Amino acid sequence: MLMSDAPSITAPTASDRISDPMLPSPYRVQRARWDTDDTFSLELVPLDSDDIPHFAPGQFNMVYVYGVGEIPISISGDPTRRDLLVHTTRAVGTVTRAMSKLRVEDMLAARGPYGTAWPVAEAHQKDIVIVAGGIGLAPLRPAMYHIMAHREQYGRVVLLYGARTPGDVLYRKQLEQWRAHFDLDVFVTVDRATGSWRGSVGLVTSLIGRAPFDPLNTVALVCGPEVMMRFTTMGLEKRGVDTKNIYVSLERNMKCAIRLCGHCQFGSTFVCKDGPVFRYSQVQSLLTKWEV
Amino acid sequence: MVKISRREGRAAQLIEHHDFQSLFDVLKAKKYRLIGPTVRDGSVVYDEVARVDDLPVGYSDEQEKGSYRLNKSDDHRLFGYGVGPHSWKKFLFPPAVRLWQARRDDGSFQIIPEDYHAEPLALIGVRACELNAIAIQDRVFLDGEYRDPIYAAQREKLFVLAVNCGQAGNTCFCASMHAGPRVTGQFDLAVTEVINGESHYFTVEVGSPRGEEVLSEVPHRPASGEEKALANQIITQTAASMKRSIDTRGIKQRLYASFEHPQWDDIAARCLACGNCTQVCPTCFCSTVEDVTDLSGNTADRWRKWDSCFTTDFSYIVGGSIRSSVKSRYRQWMTHKLATWIEQFGTSGCVGCGRCITWCPVGIDITEEIAALRAEKQPATAVEAAKEDVSYADV
């Protein structure tokens, strides 16, 4: 069977919380801010309960904007904070553009969380390498929060982040804070330097070679464009990381997020249920084909 | 196929043709809305029927790749035709259904859940392939972590009057999919129509206590050994006369290994990507959602509608459609139906009803295409792909 050798990357689900699985819950915008020119974050508080549903790092919600539509967005807040739901997304489609126009006190609705999670519990005592490209940092941030809150349970922790330009660097302040930690190795690079940037220039894959981790005792969490994830995995494999220990998060069209609409099929998997976080070895042969 | 254990019921019973209306009357008296085959716009569709005369009495059909024709004959056969463009899925999985409403008021909005009212339906004349299709959709809609509440509500309110097929349509291949033509379970009553000289009767098998109860109110008698044998013979003949088939041996691996097969290009040159096959397929379950606002903008309805993997929108994500070529979309449909479905739901997604063959406007025949994919002679690229794809099967 498909996922028989899958790691235990299952996570709590909403199934026993709501009877009609397509019915979202209302939220109020508490804070809205632009992270970059095209990427914004919303902080949301639940209106019909005190707490947001418990979620695991890597899971996503279906977010609904009144009269416009509903889309899957990964959760990018701190999983220990139950009072606040944080979503970071780019304003590129109809729904995300409408979302970007929401102001404090405006309402939207969300349901979830759905999908598999980053294997943060399974990675205890191991080195962690997080590789993020562009907005791929958003679904990885809850994993960073978790790891930082349980820092003693891990070996070396490395964050490699690449953005197109210095202006596209997401969560810049937070990256700088993390970089100030003595027990974190944070490397940031940009594809193209602009303005006064004097940092690293080059693809995020170029950071893999010099990153300090033990390839034989490492769990890698990778999120970004698919082509970036393919090359990142190649780089990690070259360093000696087994593809079984590399995890990627995939994006596919989703209408229901509950394995019923059929849209997110990827080979025999449903990305909403079997993903979005996959062990790379499970999807490698699919990811190297076109139009699967 | 979904394996359904044959119910060891009591001895077969018999209803005379002139008493068949009484079966309708009893079901109506039990507050069922009767849905059955009826003729509309030149084809057999499923809709409300009140009387036996509403059925396509005396009709037979001719089906071929991309063609369907109804013929009227002099006999009074009630079920002398095969399946038409409709399937029962439209009652369990409605083509369009409102999921909920949002009402805006003063800057905020409220979500109003929909009440799903399922009315008791008696499905008249359900074929073996269709029962298997329902069993497959049961797995899709009911067996996952999340159940579809609309499907679940309607599923519990069905009375199933099944019919053993007395003839194989030209596009039928249910026997090879182990999905017919004999009904083997999941029904309340199952009948076989027999015309023998002057006599016209239905042998009846009881499949549930509910079926038993209904039958008890309809004039009937035990079928004789000869009458039963005749009915049996009809079903056996139907199976034997089926012309089309799919070789299902190792089909999953075969399709996984055929990802780069040149046959997909050949199909793509013919396929219009119209999605007809997915609409007529009794197991296709894909859906999309649509938001509809009223003119004032104060009400926004969220609808679920049937969707098809043949549209480019289906796999659209920022940056473009994942399956932009027709080739990749046909490959997805067929690979899903016959291969990945097995991994997802423990059963093939195909019951061999032949609708996708009949209703394809350019006559693409899934049985022929599978045979072509299985053909011995494969270009080197496909052989290479087959090697490489071993890992795909193990995903």
Q: What is the ipTM of this complex?
A: 0.91
Q: B100 and A23: CB-CB below 8 Å?
A: yes
- Window 25-54 of A, Cβ < 8 Å to B: 25-26
CB B127 within 8 A of CB B175: no
Provide the number of structural domains found in chain B: 2
- The answer to whether residue B5 scores a pLDDT higher than 50 is no
Report pLDDT for A17. 34
Find the closest chain B residue to A90 by CA distance.
B318
B9 confidence band (pLDDT: 50, 70, 90): very low
**Which contacts qualify for A191-200: CB closer than 8 Å, 24 or more apart?**
A191/A162, A191/A163, A191/A164, A191/A165, A192/A164, A192/A165, A193/A165, A193/A166, A194/A165, A194/A166, A194/A167, A195/A166, A195/A167, A197/A165, A197/A166, A199/A166
Residues B160 and B64 in one domain: yes
Please say whether the beta carbons of A279 and A247 come within 8 A.
yes
Establish if B245 belongs to a structural domain.
Answer: no
Instruction: Determine, yes or no, domain membership for B218.
Output: yes
Chain B residues within an 8 Å CB radius of A109 = 102, 109, 111
User: Cβ separation of A107 and B109 shorter than 8 Å?
Assistant: yes
- What pLDDT does residue B387 have? 45
Looking at the structure, tell me whether residues B260 and B372 fall in a common domain: yes
Asked if A69's CB is within 8 angstroms of B145's CB, the reply is no
Chain A, residues 202-261, CB within 8 A of chain B, namely 251-253, 255-256, 258-261
Considering the domain architecture, whether residues B122 and B89 belong to the same structural domain is answered as yes
**Candidates A105, A270, A291; nearest CB to B328:** A291
d(C-alpha B300, C-alpha B294), whole Å: 7
Find which of A29, A268, A282, A292 to mutate to test the B interface (most B CBs within 10 Å of its CB). A268
Q: What is the pLDDT of residue B377?
A: 55
Interface test with B, best of A17, A20, A244 (most B CBs within 10 A): A20
pLDDT over 80 (residue B379): no
Written out in words, the top-level CATH class of the domain with range A127-286 is: alpha beta
Q: Across the interface, which of A15, A25, A267 has its CB nearest the CB of B395?
A: A267
CATH assignment of A25-114, among 2.40.30.10, 1.10.3470.10, 3.20.20.80, 2.30.40.10: 2.40.30.10
Residue A93's nearest CA partner among A110, A71, A74, A108 is A71
CA angle, B246 as apex, B240 and B64 as ends, to 5°?
A: 70
Statement to judge: residues B182 and B309 lie in one domain: no
**Claim to verify: residue B132 and residue B190 sit in the same structural domain:** yes
Give one word for A68, left, alpha or beta, with left for phi > 0 and alpha for psi -120 to 50.
alpha
Name which of B170, B161, B152, B183 is nearest B69 in CA terms. Answer: B170
pLDDT tens column, B264-283: 999 999 999 999 999 999 99
Q: Among the three residues B209, B240, B271, which one is the final residue of a domain in this structure?
A: B240
Say if residue B183 is in the same domain as residue B163: yes
Asked if A269 has any chain B CB less than 8 Å from its own CB, the reply is yes
Interface of B with A in 362-391 (CB under 8 A): 388-389, 391
On whether residue B279 sits in a domain, the answer given is yes
Specify whether B271 is located in the same domain as B291: yes
B315, B208: one domain = no
Domain final residue, candidates B195, B218, B240: B240
* Shared-domain flag, residues B182 and B307: no
Q: How many CB pairs under 8 A join A and B?
A: 136
Residues of B in contact with A267 (CB under 8 A): 340, 392, 395
Q: Which residues of B touch A289 (CB under 8 A)?
A: 259
Task: Please give the residue range of the domain that contains residue B26.
Answer: 13-240
Instruction: Kindly list the residues from chain A whose CB atom is less than 8 angstroms away from the CB atom of residue B139.
Output: none
Q: Which tens digit of pLDDT belongs to each residue from B160-195?
A: 999 999 999 999 999 999 999 999 999 999 999 999
pLDDT for B16-65, tens place per residue?
A: 999 999 999 999 999 999 999 999 999 999 999 999 999 999 999 999 99
- Check CB contact of A283 with chain B, cutoff 8 Å: yes
Closest partner CB to A2 (pick from B300, B314, B343) = B343
pLDDT of residue A175: 98
pLDDT tens for each residue of chain A, 292 residues long: 233 333 333 343 444 334 699 999 999 999 999 999 999 999 999 999 999 999 999 999 999 999 999 999 999 999 999 999 999 999 999 999 999 999 999 999 999 999 999 999 999 999 999 999 999 999 999 999 999 999 999 999 999 999 999 999 999 999 999 999 999 999 999 999 998 999 999 999 999 999 999 999 999 999 999 999 999 999 999 999 999 999 999 999 999 999 999 999 999 999 999 999 999 999 999 999 999 9
Instruction: Give the residue from A218, A81, A83 showing the smallest Cα distance to A157.
Output: A218
% of chain B surpassing 70 pLDDT: 92
The verdict on a CB contact (< 8 Å) between B315 and A285 is no
Considering the domain boundaries, does residue B8 fall inside one?
Answer: no
Domain boundary among B240, B275, B295: B240
Contacts of B259 in chain A (CB under 8 A): 289
Same domain, B103 and B163: yes
Work out the end-to-end distance of chain B between its first and last CA atoms, rounded to an integer number of angstroms.
22
Q: Find the CB nearest B318 among A23, A64, A93.
A: A93
B75 and B211 inside one domain: yes
Question: B231 and B276, same structural domain?
Answer: no
Give the span between the Cα atoms of B393 and B378, in whole angstroms.
Answer: 19
Is B313 inside any structural domain?
yes
Residue B5, in any domain of the structure: no
- Is residue B360 domain-resident? yes
**Is 90 exceeded by the pLDDT of residue B87?**
yes
Contacts with A106 from chain B: Cβ below 8 Å? 107
B118: pLDDT confidence band, cut at 50, 70 and 90? very high
Q: Where are the domains of chain A?
A: 25-114, 127-286
- Cβ contact A262–B343 (<8 Å): no
Give B290's strand partners.
Answer: B303
Residue B11's pLDDT band (cuts 50, 70, 90): confident
Average the pLDDT over B82-100 and give the result: 97
